[in-house]
């Protein structure tokens, strides 16, 4: 994360932008927002010279998730990118970057429940279906060589999960089901794959991002 100077963003514009983004990325103070804006432009002006949209592309974003936050699951990384990329234009803008990191790094339980549900609802229909659970669990569980059919074990796990979380017994998880289950048992927040950073990664990222010199 080497520091660069950006001719496009003078000090006054930077402060103005930071003030605006402080309101939406509400878990950061103005100085922290400025540091994250600088980091954003470092990433945008990085290796991908073809980037004309002024945003972080999917590959750059996945590299951050993998190298900084230790994520390895392709499907989950793709869903996290979509969670940040609110307008779905395949680029994370500076606003989406600050708002996304606010929840990703420091979100309240409410915010994290909403975020995780969005990651796991693969087709965006407002429910996490049996099939979606199966895909995610199959993807995120370690590929252990076994005599038994691994799919059977995952199907069993899906049924156990539904039994625990599906409060209205309609064989799929609504947002209300998911929220109630997580409030009762916080460990279920990432039931279908790790899509939030662990505390160690958060501290390392914040230390590096927030101790930059302008």
Predicted confidence (pLDDT) at residue 71 exceeds the cutoff of 90: yes
Mean pLDDT of 183-194: 94
Q: In whole angstroms, what is the distance from residue 183 CA to residue 109 CA?
A: 8
Q: Given pLDDT bands bounded at 50, 70 and 90, which one contains residue 142?
A: low
Domain boundaries, the chain: 11-72+89-107+198-210, 110-190
Q: Given pLDDT bands bounded at 50, 70 and 90, which one contains residue 51?
A: very low
Within 85-108, where are the H helices?
94-106
pTM of the model: 0.87
pLDDT tens for 12-21 read 888 888 888 8
The architecture that CATH gives domain 110-190 is Orthogonal Bundle (1.10)
């Amino acid at each position: 994360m080497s520091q660069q100077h950006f001719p496009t963003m003078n000090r006054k514009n930077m402060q103005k932008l930071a003030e605006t983004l402080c309101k939406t990325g509400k878990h950061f103070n103005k100085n922290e927002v400025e540091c994250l804006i600088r980091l954003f432009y470092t990433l945008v002006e990085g290796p991908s010279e073809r980037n004309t949209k002024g945003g972080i592309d999917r590959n750059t974003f996945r590299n951050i998730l993998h190298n900084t936050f230790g994520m390895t699951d392709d499907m989950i990384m793709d869903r996290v990118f979509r969670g940040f990329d609110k307008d779905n234009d395949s680029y994370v803008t500076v606003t989406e970057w600050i708002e996304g990191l606010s929840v990703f790094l420091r979100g309240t339980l409410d915010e994290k429940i909403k975020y995780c549900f969005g990651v796991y609802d693969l087709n965006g229909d407002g429910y996490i279906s049996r099939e979606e659970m199966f895909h995610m669990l199959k993807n995120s569980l370690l590929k252990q060589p076994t005599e038994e059919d691994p799919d059977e074990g995952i199907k069993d796990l899906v049924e156990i999960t539904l039994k625990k979380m599906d409060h209205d017994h309609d064989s799929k998880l609504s947002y209300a089901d998911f929220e109630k289950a997580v409030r009762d048992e916080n460990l279920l927040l990432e039931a279908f794959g790790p899509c939030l950073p662990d505390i160690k990664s958060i501290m390392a990222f914040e230390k590096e991002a927030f101790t930059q010199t302008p």
